[in-house]
Amino acid sequence: MTKTLTALAITCSLKPSPAESSSDLLGSQILDALAEHDVAGTLVRAVDHVISPGVEADMGGDDEWPTLRQRVLAADILVFVTPTWMGQHSSVAQRVLERLDAELAETDEQGRPILFDKVAIAAVVGNEDGAHHIAAILFQGLNDVGFTIPAQGSVYWNGEAMQSVDYKDLPKTPEKVAQATSTAARNAAHLARTLSASGYPGE
C-alpha cells in the first residue's frame, strides 16, 4: 500500500485574507497535483499570522511562528510560494526564510539537521520578470537548512509587465504552468517517498 505523504503550502502574499491571492491559487493548484500522488496537503497564508523578525525557533511574545514551525516539521513536502515585487521575492517570504534558519541548529538522534529527508518546491507569480532569480534564492535557502529540491522543482508564471491581469484573473491555467505543476508535484512526491523509505545517512 502506498504511504500517504503530507504537504504544507506556505504562501507569502502581501495581502491578508480574505483578499484573493494569486499565490494562494498557485499553491492550491500544486497541492491538488500532489494529491494525485497520495499527498495530503494544507495551505497557510503567512501574512495572516504574526511572524516576528529573528532567526530563533521562538521569538517569544505574540510570535506565531512556533505553531507554523510544527506544521513545517510535520510535513514531508514544503510548497513555498511567493509573489514577485521589484524583481524579488516578497518581504513575507524573506521573513519565513529567516525563521527557517533556526533549523540549522536543530539535529535528530543521528546528528542530522531535522529538515533532512524533507522536500521543497518553489513557486513564483508576478507581473514582472524575476522568477528564475527568485527560485534560485529560494532553492539555496531551503536547501541550506536541509530540504531536498526535486528535479524541475519550481513552478512560475510571469504576466505581462506593468499590466493589471494577475494569475488569479486568468480564464484558465496556462498549459506550460500546468505542465510544470504536474512535473514538480510528481517528482516531489517520488522524492519524498524515497526519502521516507531510506533517508540520508547520519554522522
The per-residue pLDDT for range 117-126, each reduced to its tens digit, is: 999 999 999 9
Q: Is the alpha carbon torsion for 110, 113, 118, 119 positive or negative?
A: negative
Mean pLDDT of 50-63: 96
- Which residue has 494529491 as its cell numbers? 35
CA separation for the pair 66, 186 (Å, rounded)? 30
What local confidence, expressed as pLDDT, does residue 1 receive?
53
Grid cell digits, residue 93 = 517570504
Lowest mean pLDDT among 8-17, 102-111, 136-145: 102-111
Grid cell digits, residue 98 = 529567516
pLDDT-derived band at 129 (thresholds 50, 70, 90) equals: confident
Q: What is the reported pTM?
A: 0.96
pLDDT at 2 over 70: no
pLDDT at 30 over 80: yes
CA separation for the pair 84, 23 (Å, rounded)? 10
Q: How many CB atoms neighbour CB 83 within 10 A?
A: 26
What local confidence, expressed as pLDDT, does residue 122 receive?
98
Give the residues across from 122 on adjacent strands.
80, 154
